[in-house]
Structure 1
Amino acid sequence: MIRNQPNVVADILIPDSTIANQATELILEHGSEFLYNHSLRAFLFASLHAKRQAIPYDVELLYVSSVFHDLGLTPQYRSPDKRFEVDGANAARDFLKSHGLPQSALQLVWDTVAFHTTTGIAEYKEAEVALLNYGVALDVVGRGYDHLSEKHRQAIIQQFPRTDFKKTIIPTFFEGFKHKPDTTYGTINADICACMTPNFQRKNFCDSILHSPWDE
């Protein structure tokens, strides 16, 4: 992919540090134009929400988290047995560790990526975790859509298009974890498997309780 990234979109400054640029190069190399655009939109939506709510946050760490949040779906980073969110979180942590960032930053970014699909918990964690969850949810399911101005919405979509997003996002997710459907147990990703796989049998928590090895 060819990088096409301005310095400012929708009044939000996109980080231009060495770490940010190297993270961008990784998604351009190992991801796709679709994931790149989605990740940048998520960052911008999250940043606009922070600006509107006057939420302080680390811009560079939020940017790196946004770039890595779906890289666990890609052949380069996906594992045979872990949730894709964990694969992305591990990759982001390793990337930042190679730059000598402190443990606190590594853990924050790990949590931000790992919890990005965990609505109901993410919004009560650190600002970066809550913000990425917000930005991703806005892009994927439109949560908070009405809080986004038409001016900003159009500026972001013009720069990072939602090319056939609704039809593409489900098979894109599925491709990243169809080889390990058991990792979707208890997550929204099980809905993806049910949508894409005929006769998909979800694991059921009540069955797990009733069929546990305990004799009472």
Structure 2
Amino acid sequence: MSVNRPKSVAGILIPDSTIASQATELLLEHGTEFIYNHSLRVFLFSSLNAKRNNLEHDSELLYVASVFHDLGLVPHYSSPDLRFEVDGANAARDFLKSHGIAKDKLQLVWDTIALHTTIGIAEHKENEVALMYSGVGLDVMGEGYETLSAANREEIISYFPRNDFKKKIIPTFFGGFEHKTETTFGNIKADVCSYMIPNFHRKNFCDCILHSPWSE
């Protein structure tokens, strides 16, 4: 895999501690170049949002969360029956636990990854959770695009190119949970299944209520 590994981009230092470096190696070993570039952009966008809004945060933990946030999509970390966000969160927690990281920080990183697609909740959590949610939203859907300067945008893309991102990201998502589409019930990834599977039948919450075993 041929990727760029700069020390800083757009005025943001990219963590290079032992933990950060080992996390990067896991991403390079088990991920793809496409996911690597996306993950690094997410970290940089999140960090720029923190800088713009003067939000205190743990840069190393935010970086590790960014590195692991989509690793639940790849075969090495994908479970047969959990949401891919939970798979990534579990993998990051196990990794950090092996480094003796405190329990509260383990939970923070777990939440940051597990909630990164949860609209309406993540943005109200701790700074790290809200920041990565904002970075993912910016890269995937362009949320907050107007707050990103052209200079920063061009520099980030030069190091971590999008490479036809709009066309590739939906199949990349789907490839991570096509064997467990039931995990998309109640979350936005059901939209991916609907897009990728002809006549996909979504599980419906109201049907679950009306067809429950209760007699009334």
TM (norm. structure 2) is 0.99
Looking at structure 2, the residues matched to 152 and 4 of structure 1 have their Cα atoms a distance apart, in angstroms, of 16
Looking at structure 2, the residues matched to 63 and 90 of structure 1 have their Cα atoms a distance apart, in angstroms, of 16
Kindly report structure 1 stretches of 4+ aligned residues shifted beyond 4 Å.
Answer: none
Q: Report the CA distance between 1:119 and its aligned residue.
A: 1.5
Please give the per-residue CA displacement for 1:148-195, whole angstroms capped at 9, x wherever unaligned. 000000000000000010000000000000000000001010000000
Please give the per-residue CA displacement for 1:2-21, whole angstroms capped at 9, x wherever unaligned. 44211110010000100000
The number of residue pairs the alignment matches comes to: 216
Looking at structure 1, the residues matched to 173 and 66 of structure 2 have their Cα atoms a distance apart, in angstroms, of 16
Looking at structure 1, the residues matched to 163 and 59 of structure 2 have their Cα atoms a distance apart, in angstroms, of 26
Answer yes or no: is 1:155 the counterpart of 2:155.
Answer: yes
SS in 2 for 1:101: coil
TM (norm. structure 1) is 0.99
SS in 1 for 2:203: coil
1:2–1:28: 8 Å Cα contact kept in structure 2? no
SS in 2 for 1:75: coil
Please give the per-residue CA displacement for 1:13-72, whole angstroms capped at 9, x wherever unaligned. 000100000000001010000000000000000000000000000000000000000000
Aligned partner of 1:33: which letter? E
Matched with 1:34 is 34
1:68–1:113: 8 Å Cα contact kept in structure 2? yes
Looking at structure 1, the residues matched to 156 and 166 of structure 2 have their Cα atoms a distance apart, in angstroms, of 17
SS in 2 for 1:57: coil
Please give the per-residue CA displacement for 1:111-165, whole angstroms capped at 9, x wherever unaligned. 0000000121000000000000000000000000000000000000000000010
Matches for 1:64-213 after TM superposition, within 5 Å: 64-213=64-213
Aligned-pair identity (%): 70
Structure 1, gaps ≥5 residues long: none
